[in-house]
Amino acid sequence: MTVTLSGKWVWIWNWRRCDGGDPAKVAARLRDAGCRGALVKAHDGPRWFDQGRPWREIASALRAEGLAVGGWAYLYGRDAAGEARLVAETVSYGRADLFVLDVETEFEGRPEAAEELCRRVREGVGAEFPLYYSSFAIARYHRSFPFEVFERYCRGAAPQVYWNAFRWPVQQAVNWTYEDYKALGVAPERMFPVAGLYSDPNRSGVSYPAAAEVEAFAAEAAGRGSQGVSFWSYEHMSEEMWAAVRAAPAAGREAPEQEVEMSSLEFQQLSGAHAALAGRVASLEADVAVLKTSGAKAPKRTRRQARTYTVRSGDTLSAIAAGLGIGDWRPLYEANRKLIGPDPDLIQPGQVLTIPA
């Protein structure tokens, strides 16, 4: 079953600042607050974000605790190919359940940059993968932002309704957000608003919202037809804010965890393996049929000499795989895991990689 942004989610920026990066503690806190999953930062633009451990390991550990895990990245649109490649790798190698594009000021007045980024991301993750975008809540103040481009490529929007930073009443912020997105043609069921549960009184003068406001925000979103809400962010939330999230109603119907048996990526991988196995069986059956009718001996199989590739400066596994005509870089990594180590991004010039047959 495909995972969506329905229910309650919490954003994670710096993993090590979230209960010391302890998956069991993080998962326990999220479950206690009634959250379906976490949105964990994967990269910043075209560069991986240092979380202290590979994103895939963080996601796997949280998933083992019964949570869904989405990836997100702040994107700039200056290197669409590089940014899209990391989104695709977070989805494929990292096995993200969904992905959120954090797109803001850098795309204002640049619809062509948004178009190129979204097109490349879709090419990398496939047409059906649950892709969302997060941006400005009050669209009337950002008329040059290409909302329509992201709407065409994404399943829904996660507007950042930080009423405490706006210094507005929560009701006004929510009302204007839904009014502005309706004017853009965005239906409420495609909206998954984000609340800013953070405080920065010394630098920006922003204080935590009242707990009652957090509950009102979630209730208003549910009443308007939104299927989910999320909260920024784990490392910034006080105990009072966690209690407010716990008390907030969960919009939408969350699928029972046991029903989420296989991600779309796992299904594709299983289908591909099944098709390959069926092809091999058919080939063997044809060989047997020829032998039965002609009495000919089966052709001897010769062992081909293993191919190798020497890593050069600036190389990545995905680029090497593409240059060698290999459709997926992961078999290349698995064939050289002992040489490369646990992080597939840390390949070194001079390493001699074995190319899988």
| Per-residue model confidence as pLDDT tens digits over 95-135 | 999 999 999 999 999 999 999 999 999 999 999 999 999 99
Q: How many domains does the chain have?
A: 2
Note whether 192 and 180 are within 8 A (CB): no
* Domain end position, chosen among 259, 281, 296: 259
**Would you say residue 248 lies in a domain?**
yes
The answer to whether residue 160 is domain-embedded is yes
**In the beta sheet, which residues pair with residue 41?**
72
Q: Are residues 242 and 312 in the same domain?
A: no
Question: Which of 238, 259, 280 is at the close of a domain?
Answer: 259
Is the pLDDT assigned to residue 287 strictly greater than 90? no
Please measure the distance between the N-terminal and C-terminal CA atoms of the chain and give it in whole angstroms.
Answer: 33
pLDDT in tens, 33-80: 999 999 999 999 999 999 999 999 999 999 999 999 999 999 999 999
Model confidence at 253, pLDDT cuts 50, 70, 90, reads very low
pLDDT in tens, 138-195: 999 999 999 999 999 999 999 999 999 999 999 999 999 999 999 999 999 999 999 9
Query: Among residues 258, 294, 211, which one has the least CA distance to residue 1?
Result: 258
* Of 320, 310, 322, the residue nearest 352 (C-alpha): 310
In a domain, 76, yes or no: yes
Contact call for residues 113 and 147 (beta carbons, < 8 A): no
Q: Which residue reads 């996660």 in tokens?
A: 158
Shared domain for 217 and 340, answered yes or no, is: no
In a domain, 180, yes or no: yes
State which residues form the domain around 63: 7-259
User: Residue 75: left (phi > 0), alpha (psi -120 to 50), or beta?
Assistant: beta
Residue 272 placed within a domain: no
pTM: 0.72
- Domain assignment present for residue 45? The answer is yes
Q: How far does Cα 110 stand from its chain's mean position?
A: 23
Residue 94 — left, alpha, or beta (φ > 0 → left; ψ -120 to 50 → alpha)? alpha
103/171 same-domain check? yes
Instruction: Based on the fold, state whether residues 163 and 312 are members of the same structural domain.
Output: no
Q: 251 and 126 share a domain? A: yes
User: Is residue 290 one of the residues assigned to a domain?
Assistant: no
- Does residue 319 share a domain with residue 232? no
Asked if residue 282 is part of any domain, the answer here is no
CATH number for 81: 3.20.20.80
